[in-house]
Chain A
Amino acid sequence: MQTPSDEELMLSVRSGNLGAFEQIVLRHQSAAWAVAYRFVGDVHEAEDLVQNAFLRILDAAQRYEPTAAFRTYLYRILTRLCTDHVRKKRPIPLDPLPQLPSPGLSSSEHIERLERERSIQAALDTLPPQYRMVIILRYFEGLSSVEIAQTMNTTPKAVERLLARARKCLEPFLTPLSEE
Chain B
Amino acid sequence: MNCQGIRSRLAAYAEGRLSSDEREHVRAHLLECASCRTALTHVDKVAAVLMYAENPPVPAGLTIRVMAAARSRQRVAATVCWNPLQWWRMAAAPMHAAAAVVLVVGLTVGLLLGWTSAPLIAQTTTVAQQDPLDAYRLDYLGDVPVGSLADSYLTLVVATNEGGR
Contact = CB atoms under 8 A, between A and B. Distances in A.
B16 A47 contact: no
A54 B55 contact: no
Given A21-B70, A140-B50, A179-B37, A62 B16 contact: no
Contacts, number: 116
B54 interface: yes
A59 B63 contact: no
B89 interface: yes
A15 B89 CA distance: 8
A117 B73 contact: no
A101 B55 CA distance: 10
Nearest to B22: A142
Interface string A37-49: 1100001000100
B66 A167 contact: no
Q: How large is the interface on B (under 10, 10 to 19, 20 to 34, 35 or more residues)?
A: 35 or more
Interface string A53-79: 011001100100000000000000000
- Central interface residue in B23, B47, B62, by most chain A CB within 10 Å: B62
Contacts of B74: 16, 18
Contact of A179 (B34, B47, B59, B73): B34
Given A59-B73, A179-B41, A143 B46 contact: no
Contacts of B37: 179
B137 interface: no
Contact of A100 (B17, B38, B54): B54
Contacts of B53: 116-117, 120, 139-140
Is chain A's binding surface mostly helix, strand, loop or mixed? helix
B45 A174 contact: yes
Contacts of B51: 139
B67 to A, nearest CB: 6
Contact of B57 (A50, A101, A145): A101
22 contacts: A25-B63, A25-B66, A26-B63, A37-B55, A38-B55, A47-B65, A51-B65, A51-B69, A54-B66, A55-B66, A55-B73, A58-B70, A98-B56, A120-B52, A135-B46, A139-B46, A140-B50, A144-B16, A171-B46, A175-B45, A177-B49, A177-B52
Interface of B: 15-18, 20, 23, 34, 37-38, 41, 44-59, 62-63, 65-67, 69-71, 73-74, 86, 89-90
